[in-house]
Every structure is written in C-alpha cells, then in structure tokens.
Structure 1
Amino acid sequence: MRHRLPLVAGAALLLAAAGGFSLLVGGDDTEKTAAGAPMARVAVPELAGVAARGRDLFDGACAVCHGENAAGRAGIAPPLVHVIYEPAHHADGAFLLAIARGVRQHHWSFGDMPAVPDVTQQDVAAIIAYVRALQRANGIY
C-alpha cells in the first residue's frame, strides 16, 4: 500500500498538470467561443512613444486576425497576450520572423500564419513594443 501512494500522487499531479496545460493553450473553451470573438481579457496600459506607434501599426496590420489589443479572435488567430508568447518562449525575433516569413501552425489549431507584406523592420519593432507592453500589463513577463 505504501508503494502505491507515490504512484497515485504522481498520477494525480500529472493529470492536474495536463488539465492546466489544456486550459493554458485554450482547451475546449476556444471551440465554445463564437467565431471571431476575443479569446482573452486584456488590460490596456497607458501607451506612449514606440508602443503607442506600435498600437497604430498593429491595428492596421495585425488586429484583423489577432484581434483588438491582441486578444485573439476565436477561429481566426490566437491572442498574443498569452503566456505562450512570453519573451522567454517567443523572443522578439520570433515575431520579426513571423511577420516577415509567416509561421507554420504549431501551438494552436488556426492554421498557418501568412507573411505580412509591407511591414518594415522598424514597424515590427514598434509592434513588438506594443505587444510586450500589453503582456507586461497583464502579468506576462
């Protein structure tokens, strides 16, 4: 009986972690959300300088898919204000490459992201500043 306790505890921990990961990456909730609806609640901080410019650029080039304030759009594209896109997992260079070259589907089931033409590297730097400001305001570091 004593030997089963660590096994049962380990199994329970694994199941809890799997359930938590499922919630973290969307789980079943993304399928229950109306198509195009925001996927995340996003607190928007006061923006100035490069981040404010990035907001305007994001609104013009990215929001049609990734939603207002990078909250995602159910059935269309994921929220960028999400722990998956934290700097330690998706560094700024990943955003640069995604915009320049597009991205194959890998975390979400939205399909591949096409490249976004006519967005300069300076524009991308401003968009990244905006997204990172949103992430910080929402506890994603």
Structure 2
Amino acid sequence: MTVSKATISAIAGALAIGAFLVWRTLSGGTPSDAHIVAVTVPQLSVRAERGQELFAANCAACHGQNAGGTGQGPPLIHRIYEPNHHGDQAFLIAATQGVRAHHWGFGNMPPVAGVSERQVADIVAYVREVQKANGIF
C-alpha cells in the first residue's frame, strides 16, 4: 500500500492540531500572567470617563484595571479586540448574553448582570479610547 505525501501531510497536521488542543486544555491555554499588558490611559472624553467608572465596577475584576488583563480574564487592550476584529456590537453581546471562549483559555464569559446597553456603550467608549492611546485602532 502506498501513502501519498498529501495524506501524510494531512495526518501530520491533524496530529499537530490535536497536540496543541491537548496542551491548551491541560495548560489553561494562557501562561501565568503572560497575557497581562501595560496600559497607558489617555485624557478621556466625558462619556469614556463614565465608561471607566462602569468598567471598574463591572469588568475590572476579570479584565483588570484599565483592561490590561488578569489571571481571570484577558486584556481588552490587545490587537485581538481591535474594532475591525471585535466590533462594538461584540462587546454588547458579550456583556448582555455572555460569550464562548474562542481566543483565550479562560473559559466562557458569563453575561454581566444589571448592565444596560447604554452602560455597555459607555464602557466600549472607554475601551476604544484606551485602545487608541495604546496603538490599537
């Protein structure tokens, strides 16, 4: 029986993906504190200042002070969350409905109880202004 190079490549690729998924599951997918980023907070607009307060009350426990990340959740001041990849609506959906883990190994994000769409919009204004000040736009 002859096995083609394409078949061997496909099997090798599947094994590599499987090994990665096993590593990600066993390691939590994120090395300890390696994901935490240093964040510069700019002069904020009035709306973003409201968002900063709301972020501190509702999001910082997991996403860190100034959205720099923690051991409980990823940084939002990261290129993964730039507007072209995760639009403002993605933040609204995550906050109001929760979201399945898909970029990080922290597990699924539950909905944030008691946060209105208007409040999420203020939080997003804050995150976007901080992202921009840190070269993410």
Given the two structures, how large is their TM-score scaled by the length of structure 2?
0.76
Tell me what 2:62 maps to: 65
Alignment map for 1:45-84 (pairs within 5 Å):
45-74=42-71, 76-84=72-80
Deviations along 1:23-80, one digit per CA (max 9) or x if unpaired, are xxxxxxx41438xxx7001011011310000000000000011000000002x10000
2-structure distance, mates of 1:136, 1:84? 13
**Aligned length in residues:** 108
- CA, structure 1 residues 100+68, in 2 after alignment: closer, same or farther (shift >3 Å)? same
**CA pair 88-59 structure 1, distance change in 2 beyond 3 A:** same
Counterpart AA for 1:90: H
User: 2:35 matched to 1:41?
Assistant: no
Show the counterpart of 1:129.
125
Computing the radius of gyration from Cα coordinates, the structure with the larger value is 2
* SS of alignment partner, residue 31 of structure 2: helix
Q: Which runs of 5+ in 1 are unaligned?
A: 1-29
Task: Select the residue among 67, 83, 90 that pairs with 1:94.
Answer: 90
Q: CA RMSD in A?
A: 1.3
Distance 1:69 1:32 in 2: 19
Unpaired runs of 5+ residues, structure 2, are 1-29
The corresponding residue for 2:16 is none
Per-residue deviation, 1:116: 0.2
Identity %: 54
> What is the TM-score of this pair, normalised by structure 1?
0.74
Q: Which residue type is aligned with residue 86 of structure 1?
A: E
| SS across alignment from 2:107 | coil
The alignment partner of 1:31 has SS state of coil
Distance 1:33 1:61 in 2: 21
